[in-house]
Amino acid sequence: MSSNKKNGNSGTANNQFRPELEKTGQGLPEPATTERPDLYVLARVIEVLKEGGPAKRTALCTAAGLAYNRFVKYLEWMKEREFVAIDEEGNVHLTARGVDAYDQLVKWILDNVGKLKFPKLG
C-alpha cells in the first residue's frame, strides 16, 4: 500500500504540480471549482488579457492553453469576483481589480517561490 493510501489521500492532489498529466487527465481530480481554483491557471488567463487586451472566449482559452470546459469554470469564477467583464460583443476584458489580483499573485510567487513561470498545458 502506498503512503498516500495509508494516510487516506488518493494521491490526486499531488498531480497539481505535474501539469504534464493534465493533458491526459490521468489521476487528476475534476477541474478547479469555484471553491479552489489553480492560481497558476488564473494567472495565465489574466496574463493573456493583460498582454493582449480584450479577447473572445475561444481565443483566450486557446492562448491560456486550457480545455474549453475547464476554461469556462475559471471564467465564471473570475467574473464573480469582478476580475474580468464580458461586453455585449462577447469580448472578455480585464478589470482594474483583475490587474491588481494578478500583480499581487505575481509578487507572492516571486517572494515565496522565487521564480515566475506559468507553463502552458498544450
User: CATH number for the domain including 92?
Assistant: 1.10.10.10
48/101 same-domain check: yes
Q: Which residues contact 17 (CB under 8 A, 6 or more apart)?
A: none
- Tell me, yes or no, whether 26 and 77 share the same domain: no
Give the residue numbers spanning the domain of 3: 1-30
Distance, in Å, from the CA atom of 51 to the CA atom of 42, rounded to the nearest integer, reads 14
Domain count for the chain: 2
Q: Are residues 65 and 111 in the same domain?
A: yes
Q: What is the CA radius of gyration of the chain?
A: 16
96 and 74 belong to one structural domain = yes
Sign for the pseudo-dihedral over CA of 15, 21, 27, 29? positive
pLDDT at 115: 65
pLDDT given for residue 102 in this prediction: 92
Residues 39 and 87 in one domain: yes
Tens of each residue's pLDDT in the chain, 122 residues: 444 444 444 444 444 444 554 454 444 444 444 568 888 899 999 999 999 999 999 999 999 999 999 999 999 999 999 999 999 999 999 999 999 999 998 888 888 877 666 555 44
Q: Do 24 and 66 lie in a common domain?
A: no
Same domain (yes/no): 61, 17: no
Neighbours of 7 (CB within 10 A): 7
Whole-prediction pTM = 0.65
pLDDT at residue 109 in the model: 82
